Amino acid sequence: MVKKETNSIHVPDAPHRPGDEPKFDEWSYKPEDLELLRIDCSVEDAEKHANGLVRVLNDNHEAKGEWDPKLNSDELILGLEHMLRMRIFDERMMKMQRTGKLSFYMRSFGEEAVAIAQTMALKNEDWLFPTYRQPGAQFVRGRDMVSMICHCIGNEEDNVKGRQMPVHYTFREGRYISVSSPVGTQFSQAVGVALASKYKQLDEVTITWIGDGASAEGDYHYALNFASIFKAPVILNVVNNQWAISTHSNFASKNQNFAIRGIPYGIPSVRVDGNDFLALYSVTKWARERAGKDLGPTHIEVLTYRAGAHSSSDDPSRYRPKDSNSFWPGGDPIERLKLHLIGKNDWSEKLHEELEHRIDAEVMEAYKEAVKFGDLANGPYPSSDAIFTEVYEEPPWHLLEQWDEMKRWRDE
Ligand SMILES: Cc1ncc(C[n+]2csc(CCOP(=O)(O)OP(=O)(O)O)c2C)c(N)n1
Ligand SMILES: [Mg+2]
């Protein structure tokens, strides 16, 4: 066997590490750069949008360009309120986790606009296939905060009876499908549900999200292929927040533009500023209209930044510069929408502060209500029988055997 001199495998390194100045390319994209696409656009028509970045809010927080969805102030204030609710809820839940009241937690910090703007752009009968980074969609669909907290605690009122990790919500009434711990599985399931709606001739669209890291999995590619071939009414989002726990997005894709990966599959693809509420809303509404008119799937890269830790078990200061989020060219989604509204004289710092206080009280109230159904340290918890019930209509013999064994051990 003849060995070559250079046979090492190329392993990409992150662009910045602890102690470095965070390195982000400056954005030259302006809201006026990209025209509104026709809903029946060809894949080629969208190439410019996949290579560029759809924005509506400019650097002075004014809404500009053809993608401005022209939402009225009530709709914008509602969006701002949902985002603020998500952030305050997350902060409170993290404190609960740190004081031993929750076992684990994951925040949407810096990415609040994604699920909230995108879900607001849909119809209520549309199906949501989220990851753990889109719980905000539930606020849009009217989920009661007490039941969300009961799930995170895993107490007796947890609607999934402790079978899932915290933040892996299921909200049937809101068509918010169970979050899957094995990342990526939701992508191809979403395409299947979209095809079922089409087969049943229902005016229902499916939206799904996958992270930059998980988009390196096969599920992502199967989903795009199926969606394209069968013209599924589905909106396929890759949320590129630059990190998959401690792994930079350059590990998931050699090409750092994730949007254009939809083009060879024949799917119109767009890249959007994920911290721009208006741009996200607009692109999603456009994609919803395409799907609703049977024009097929849309693939969207949502360009954003994971401002906080991956989860309560993670310490990002070990692998990326501290406060790197403050260098992100897309800024903060809440601050940007707030300044936009203030600029239009529809909002003020005072109203903002009052809203923060009101939501903070709402979260505390909900937490106190939730622990009445059991806390992590003392229970009551869902019965251990729930491991065996409600999975199979008729549990198979080997599970019945295990169930008996568990009862013997438990009741001894
Ligand atoms: C199939 C699978 N592999 C690995 C993991 C462990 N894991 C959980 S989240 C995560 C990172 C996912 O990153 P990304 O897809 O970018 O989503 P983000 O957390 O950034 O929103 C990993 C590796 C998992 N849950 N499932
Ligand atoms: Mg990621």
pLDDT tens per residue across span 114-131 = 999 999 999 999 999 999
Domain with CATH 3.40.50.970 in the chain: 31-310+320-381
Q: Is 401 exposed, middle or buried (0-12, 13-18, 19+ CB in 10 A)?
A: exposed
213: Cβ below 6 Å to ligand 1? yes
Checking if the pLDDT of 2 tops 90, the result is no
Percent share of the chain, pLDDT over 70 = 100
Look at residue 390 in the predicted model and tell me its pLDDT.
Answer: 87
Q: How far is the CA of 399 from the centre of ligand 1 (A)?
A: 30
Of ligand 1's listed atoms, the one at least distance from the Cα of 241 is 20
| Overall average pLDDT of the 52-60 stretch | 98
Residues belonging to the active site: 306, 310, 319
Residue bearing the CA closest to ligand 1, atom 25: 182
Among the bound ligands, name the one nearest to the CA of residue 309: 1
Look at residue 412 in the predicted model and tell me its pLDDT.
Answer: 82
Specify the CATH number of the domain 31-310+320-381: 3.40.50.970
pLDDT in tens, 385-401: 999 998 899 999 999 99
Checking if the pLDDT of 1 tops 90, the result is no
pLDDT in tens, 11-55: 999 999 999 999 898 899 999 999 999 999 999 999 999 999 999
Residue among 109, 179, 245 to mutate when testing ligand 1 (max atoms within 8 A of CB):
245
Among the bound ligands, name the one nearest to the CA of residue 132: 1
Residue among 106, 167, 183 to mutate when testing ligand 1 (max atoms within 8 A of CB):
183
Mean pLDDT rounded to a whole number for the chain: 97
pLDDT in tens, 152-193: 999 999 999 999 999 999 999 999 999 999 999 999 999 999
Look at residue 411 in the predicted model and tell me its pLDDT.
Answer: 85
241: Cβ below 6 Å to ligand 1? yes
104: Cβ below 6 Å to ligand 1? no
Instruction: Decide: pTM greater than 0.85.
Output: yes
Checking if the pLDDT of 310 tops 90, the result is yes
Look at residue 391 in the predicted model and tell me its pLDDT.
Answer: 84
Residue bearing the CA closest to ligand 1, atom 20: 244
